Amino acid sequence: MTVTGFFTDSTLCIGCKACEVACKEWNDVPDDGFSFSGLSYDNTLALGHSTWRHVKFVEHDAVIGRGGNAPELMTWEFSSDVCKHCENAGCLDACPTGSIVRTEFGSVYVQPDICNGCGYCVVSCPFGVIDRRPSDGRAFKCTFCYDRQRAGEEPACAKACPTQSILFGDLEELQRLADARIEKLHANGMTDATIYNPVDTSVGGTHAFFLVRGDVRAYNLPPRPEVPATLLPKAWTSAAVAAGALAIGSILAFALGARR
């Protein structure tokens, strides 16, 4: 099985949200509430238990004479976000039930028949992706359309995308495409375009990676995400010290206390 991935290129995204809707349709995801945000054209605001694809609208001041494709100036950037399917996935590490697994496609998948809703994955995802759905009790996120991939189909979101902003395919191939794309954009003068794929952090790269313009933080993408597991040695050492101290301390205390 080849490892598959998503390369989402926001310079090609028209913000139509077809991906967001297609995902919900295919996966039968419920609505995420009906509230007006006033934040550009985004009313779903973030990925979550009931939004597995999410289109962000990063708005800057519009300038007369310049469209959004003008290389020297950012205006209205759309970027379709999704679970990153991390090479080292915090959620997968954290899941105590083994509900979250790595599939033959290299993606990170939550088995809905196993999850008991402990919520630990929620605090272990460095990207704020997975969440527990209150009305259901279980944790949900993008499945990378495991069912469709099994059937040899591309994920629903990629299928619906009219402009090929979402490319799906062989991960390595996509990385090559992304490198070529960024080179071309830079050559065209769009020097603020970057690939967001945290390969050099403990996350070790993501199977869903992105091309965005400008500061990645404006898209709520953490510049240096780390897998929580990196903290384990520190924390367990501390626990061992504490446990040792408690064991020895209590024995000593009683020994001391008894002496008088």
Binding residues for ligand SF4 restricted to 102-131, rule: CB under 6 A: 108, 110, 115-121, 125, 127, 129-130
Q: Does 126 bind another protein (CB under 8 A)?
A: yes
Task: Tell me which of 2, 72, 97, 180 binds another protein, using CB under 8 A.
Answer: 97
Cα separation of 168 and 187, whole Å?
Answer: 25
Q: Does 174 bind ligand SF4 (CB under 6 A)?
A: no
Return phi, psi of residue 127, to 5°.
Answer: -110, 0
Q: Give the list of residues 6+ apart from residue 95 with CB closer than 8 angstroms, or none.
A: 110, 115, 120, 121
Shortest distance, position 56 Cβ to ligand SF4, whole Å: 10
Please answer whether residues 19 and 87 qualify as being in contact, where contact means their C-beta atoms are separated by less than 8 angstroms.
no
Q: Dihedral of the CA atoms 231, 233, 236, 240 (nearest 10)?
A: -150
| Interactions with ligand SF4, residue window 45-84 (CB under 6 A) | 52-53, 55, 78, 80, 82-84
Cα separation of 238 and 59, whole Å?
Answer: 45
| Interactions with another protein, residue window 237-256 (CB under 8 A) | 237-239, 241-243, 245-247, 249-251, 253-256
Q: Does 222 bind another protein (CB under 8 A)?
A: yes
> Looking at beta carbons only, is 2 or 116 nearer to another protein?
116
Residue 231, token pair as written in the block: 């903290």
Return phi, psi of residue 4, to 5°.
Answer: -105, 165
Q: Does 89 bind ligand SF4 (CB under 6 A)?
A: yes
Residue 206 pairs in a beta bridge with 86
Per CB under 6 A, residues contacting ligand SF4 are 13-19, 23, 26-27, 52-53, 55, 78, 80, 82-86, 89-91, 94-95, 97, 99-100, 108, 110, 115-121, 125, 127, 129-130, 132, 139, 141-145, 155-157, 160-163, 165-166
